[in-house]
Structure 1
Amino acid sequence: MNQSSSPKRRTAVAIAAILVLGAAAATAIVYGTQPAKPAAEANGHEHAGKAHDQDAESGHKHEEEKEHAPGDRHEHEEGESKDEARGEQEHDEGMLKLDAERARTAGVTLAQAGPAAIGSSLQLPGEIRFNEDRTAHVVPRVAGVAESVAANLGQVVKKGQLLAVLSSPAVSEQRSELMASQKRLALARTTYQREKQLWQEKISAEQDYLQAQQLLREAEIAAANAQQKLAAIGAGAGSSGRLNRFELRAPLDGVVVEKHLSVGEAVQDSTAVFTVSDLRSVWAEMKVAASDLPFVRVGEKAVVQATAFESRASGTVAYVGALIGQDTRTAPARITLDNPDGIWRPGLFVNVNLTASSQQVAVSIATPAVQKIDGDKPVVFVPVDGGFKAQAVKLGKADAQNTEVLQGLTAGQSYVNGGSFILKSELGKATAEHVH
């Protein structure tokens, strides 16, 4: 019996062990726990886990340092290079490196800033016109028909030169009247001589002598009157058979600037058929506003400059109008210019610069030395070690020769007088190359 019950007991114990192990496994699955391990093994795994975690953390940090450290270093170095470039650019701004040999080749010359008298100028627009005092509008003064025209437009003529020939009935009548008066005058003179002789010989009465004398005086007046009529229209006595011939001649030396006559054309006594002007003298006319009239006076010096080409001439104000126009609210003024070479042609637009007054300034430079960079920033180039520098200046009054300097230069300081525009061009090239 004991032997039979022993296998059953072993079987029950095995089943119980199996059940206990299954319950333990289920508990481990439910609660996520592992089966218990020996303490040494657990401690070993714990230390290994901590070491692994530390290694992983340090490795992660190391990787982050590897990822970020080169970029930060690059950005730092790039920032330093930009700061250095910016500092160098600020240091070299307006600086042009140019040795003495190149500056001399470029025509750079120096001068010293100092005091000068600067005139306050006034610029007015104007136009070249004919000198009306030396311009003639040729009119026939008699009605007629053109038989021939000898003068052409633009032709240079001399005083008395034949311009055209007209056929005029009025001239024919006046010449006939002159001839008749001359015949009556001859008869009156003969009658007077006879009556005078008879009266002296006591043959005729004194009354007959006095009457003959009266008729002679009237005949002389009539003949003189007929002669003056022809002279008034510019016609002479004429030749026999051509009483109607009327000649138009140039009244002065000049150029035929207008022509309104052709062969066969009928003209009236008031028609201007030619205009002859002596272009060796012209007028520069301008309109002066009321506010500028105090600065424009007769005798003031002026410089006339053409707007279409480089040409200048000096003159003086010859006339200033006494009245202001109701429509334009300006007064006319003009300058007489000598024009021996014919440069100043009527109709040419000009600028008239008037020097009203002058004022002494402490610091001034030559006006051509002023250059403008960065739009309208005025600068003056001054010599420095190794080249030249564009010195910013504040300017005051100016005329064609000198410009006042309020800030930026002192009296006696050297500056570039000649060749400043070349330095400006070189500075622009250097700036463009530095930017690119």
Structure 2
Amino acid sequence: MKTRNKKILLSIGVVLSGAILAVGGFWLGYLHGDSRNGPFDEEMHTVDSGDHQEHGLTEEHEEQADDQLVRVQPEELTEFGIETAKAGPGELSLYVDLPGEVVLNADRLAHVAPRVSGIVREVRKSVGDSVNAGEILAVLESRELAEAKAGFLAAIEREKLALANFEREERLWRKKVTSEQEYLDTRQALAEARITMTSAEQQLHALGFTDSELKELPKHSDATYTRFVIRAPFAGTIIERHLTLGESANAEADVFTIADLSSVWVDINVYQKDLARISKGQIVTIEIGHGIPTVSGSIAWVGPLVSEATRTAKARVVLPNSEGRLRPGLFVVARVAVGSTPVDILVPNSALQTFENRTVLFVQTEEGFEPQPIEIGQQNATHVEILSGLEAGRTYVTQGAFTLKAQLSKGAFGDGHNH
């Protein structure tokens, strides 16, 4: 029994001695810097793990970059209205925006008065009607006109009689049958008759009668002597009417107002601070809104006075209005070109898009198009200066950028967009 216990104790001692020697050898190797053991193996493992993570980030970055690439086939450029250009310098036009109003062209406006007093017997036109030059607007019955016509016809007859007497006396005087005084008396009577006839004729001309109408006047019946016709002086639109059937019309009262709306004025209010920059001949873009297309013209006149009430001066643009879209009374914004400035990179506003809360434009790469963040500078209604993000000579999209932007969220043209 004792012998057995001794053998067990001896075995335990051998095992413990081996363990102690093994631990001692490990630490002895560590203290001597054996690079093949201990923590150095763990450090190398850590480096290998880092390489693996970096490789994974690179693949993720490449995938994100590819997600912002839109591949477009050449035939799809035309189909989707995509146009490109090379970035370069240009002149950026500078503008001043001023308020204005569409008004009637006073050079094509007529206040029609009857010229004679009378009773309104016919009214043929009303507000809003279009009229041609010489077209009848209304008819009056005028005793004043009848007297003027009668005076003219009587003057014609007196002139004829005076002429006949003069010719007879002239023949007799040449034959020494009558005295020279009788001859001179008939010549004076003829001259007076002609003066009277001319005066009566001019009176009717003042009432609007033409030479051809005066020649036909003796052929008219007595019933037409009182009939006075009011005619349109030129083609236009009736914008006011101030007479009704049966009323008495005054010779000096305006009974119709006619405007030729094929041409209108835009009166612009120029502030004091802008007066030095506004001059005759400058190009103006008129923005009306309300679905009315923008129109352009030039300043035809700049007023010499400043209003005490508004502290503004007037500038005027004359515009054609054949379609009648520019209605007097409409308020407008007048964009006046006052100069330009050179910039290094100039692009149209249509090239700009907002993508991921940044202002971008689409640039062309070897594989397609991708959004390029940019910084913008001065801008007008049509073009913008690029301060950074686009180099000169780089090809970018001028038209159709919105279509490319839409593809980044819903897939590309056909199967060209990779995810």
TM-score (norm 2): 0.71
**Is the CA contact 1:96–1:387 (under 8 Å) kept in the aligned structure 2?**
no
- CA deviations on 1:23-78 (whole Å, 9 max, x unpaired) are xxxxxxxxxxxxxxxxxxxxxxxxxxxxxxxxxxxxxxxxxxxxxxxxxxxxxxxx
Aligned to 2:68: 97
Q: Which of residues 142, 159, 164 in structure 2 aligns to 1:185?
A: 159
Q: What are the residue-to-residue correspondences of 1:18-417 with 2, within 5 Å?
A: 97-101=68-72, 107-235=81-209, 237=214, 238=217, 239-241=220-222, 242-372=224-354, 378-382=359-363, 388-389=370-371, 391-396=373-378, 398-417=379-398
Unaligned runs of 5+ in 2: 1-59, 412-419
Q: Which structure carries more relative contact order (alpha carbon 8 Å, separation 6+)?
A: 2
CA drift of 1:224 comes to 0.6
Choose from 390, 395, 399 the match for 1:418.
399
Report the residue type matching 2:309 in the other structure: D
Query: What CA distance in whole angstroms lies between the structure 1 residues aligned with 2:244 and 2:88?
Result: 67
Residue identity (%):
36
Within 2, Cα distance between the matches of 1:390 and 1:252? 60
Query: How far off its partner does 1:422 sit?
Result: 4.4
When residues 422 and 299 of structure 1 are mapped into structure 2, their CA distance, relative to the original with a 3 A threshold, is same
Alignment gaps of 5+ in structure 1 = 1-87, 431-436
Q: 1:96–1:426: 8 Å Cα contact kept in structure 2?
A: no
* Distance in 2 (alpha carbons) for counterparts of 1:428 and 1:290: 50
Q: Tell me the SS of whatever aligns to 2:345.
A: strand
User: CA 1:211/1:410 → structure 2, altered by over 3 Å: closer, same or farther?
Assistant: same
RMSD: 3.3
Structure 1 residues 203 and 346: alpha-carbon distance in aligned structure 2, compared to 1, 3 A threshold: same
Q: 1:402–1:323: structure 2 CA closer, same or farther, 3 Å change rule?
A: same
- CA shift at 1:391, angstroms? 1.0
The 2-side partners of 1:96 and 1:350 are apart by 45
Answer yes or no: is the 8 Å Cα contact 1:146–1:164 preserved in 2. yes
Measured at CA, do residues 424 and 170 of structure 1 come closer, stay the same or move farther in structure 2, by a change above 3 Å?
Answer: farther
Distance 1:340 1:114 in 2: 40
Rounded Cα–Cα distance in structure 1 between residues aligned with 2:368 and 2:167: 111
Distance 1:222 1:250, change over 3 A: same
Q: 1:422 to 1:98 in 2, by over 3 A?
A: same
Corresponding letter in the other structure for 2:308: Q
Which range moved further: 342-351 or 133-142?
342-351
Where 2:304 maps in the other structure, the secondary structure is: coil
C-alpha separation in 2, matches of 1:374 and 1:180:
93
C-alpha deviation, 1:399, in angstroms: 3.1
For the residues of structure 2 that align with 1:166 and 1:95, how far apart are their CA atoms?
85
Equivalences, count = 341
C-alpha deviation, 1:111, in angstroms:
3.3
Q: 1:118 to 1:387 in 2, by over 3 A?
A: closer
Which SS does the other structure have where 2:269 is aligned?
strand
**Secondary structure of the structure 1 residue equivalent to 2:305:** coil
C-alpha distance 175-125 of structure 1, shift in aligned 2 (>3 A):
same
- TM-score normalised to structure 1 length: 0.68
Deviation string 1:321-359 (CA, Å, 9 cap, x unpaired) is 122222222222222222333333333333322222222
Q: Secondary structure at the match of 1:123?
A: strand
Deviation at residue 129 of structure 1 after TM alignment: 2.5
Cα pair 1:380 1:393 within 8 Å, conserved: no
Which amino acid is 2:332 matched to?
A: V
Return the index of the structure with the highest Cα Rg.
1
User: Which piece of structure 1 moves more, 95-104 or 401-410?
Assistant: 95-104
CA–CA distance in structure 2, aligned partners of residues 402 and 125 of structure 1: 22
